[in-house]
Amino acid sequence: MARVTAPLMSLDASGSVGKAIVFSRWKGRSYVRRHVFPANPKSGLQVGMRSILTFITQDYTNLSAADLSDWYDLAQADNLTRLNAQVRDAGQLGRRNLGWRENTTDAPPAAVDTPTGGAAAAQPRTLVLSWVDPVANPPDYCWQIFRSILTGFTPDISNQVAIVKFGTNVHTDIGLTTGVPYYYRMRGLSTSGFLGDLHAEFTGTPT
């Protein structure tokens, strides 16, 4: 993306030209970029990254005044909103399979334990996942949910399908293929970005 600092068709140009370049404004700044189409908008990486961004934007209203102050400090340097600063931070960390964070000042815990149980109840083209929070060392931020059609898979951003707020103990995984076994693993995350241990694999087959 290139910023526009002098007239280029016009300072306030917007829209695309010949499906090749796009003009727009963001946060009061004009810019021009190449018009692109995702090669596969439903690739594993795309789904994994969207799960992070969806969680961050939905959880934003739950942030405390101290959390918002942390993101305000980072946002000012680049003329971003606090939400955009947190989204950018989470995207950069999550893409590298690192833990994203609710704020920048919380100290990491000594450990984050796995949930107990782990079940996938079958419904038509759907599996309803459920689990029980650990008694000791629970995460205080969220659960990552990973899925594969192969047993023994390695959890990665490319197979992360959902993130749910800690305290939620159910997730409905929809749009699955009838009769195909799906395998799941889970991991907790602290507000500081500390990654917990991976839960043992569990499986279910939608009807």
What is each CA distance from 143 to 6, 53, 78, 91, in whole angstroms? 47, 14, 30, 17
65 and 143 in a single domain? The answer is no
pLDDT mean over 103-115: 95
With respect to residue 106, please indicate whether it lies within any of the assigned structural domains.
no
The predicted-structure confidence for 59-106, as pLDDT tens digits, reads as follows 999 999 999 999 998 899 888 999 999 999 999 999 999 999 999 999
pLDDT band at 206 (very low <50, low <70, confident <90, very high): very high
What tokens appear for 160 in the block? 């992360």
CA distance 83 to 76: 12
State residue 21's pLDDT score: 74
pLDDT band at 117 (very low <50, low <70, confident <90, very high): very high
Contact 161, 145 (CB under 8 A): yes
123 and 72 in a single domain? The answer is no
68 and 126 in a single domain? The answer is no
What's the mean pLDDT when you consider all of the chain? Answer: 88
Q: What share of the chain is helix, strand, coil (3-state, %, to 5)?
A: 25, 30, 45
State residue 7's pLDDT score: 56
Which CATH number belongs to the domain containing residue 184 in this structure?
2.60.40.10
Residue 17, φ and ψ in degrees, nearest 5: -120, 115
pLDDT band at 127 (very low <50, low <70, confident <90, very high): very high
Is the whole-model pTM more than 0.85? no
Domain that holds residue 62: 44-95
Q: Count how many domains the chain has.
A: 3
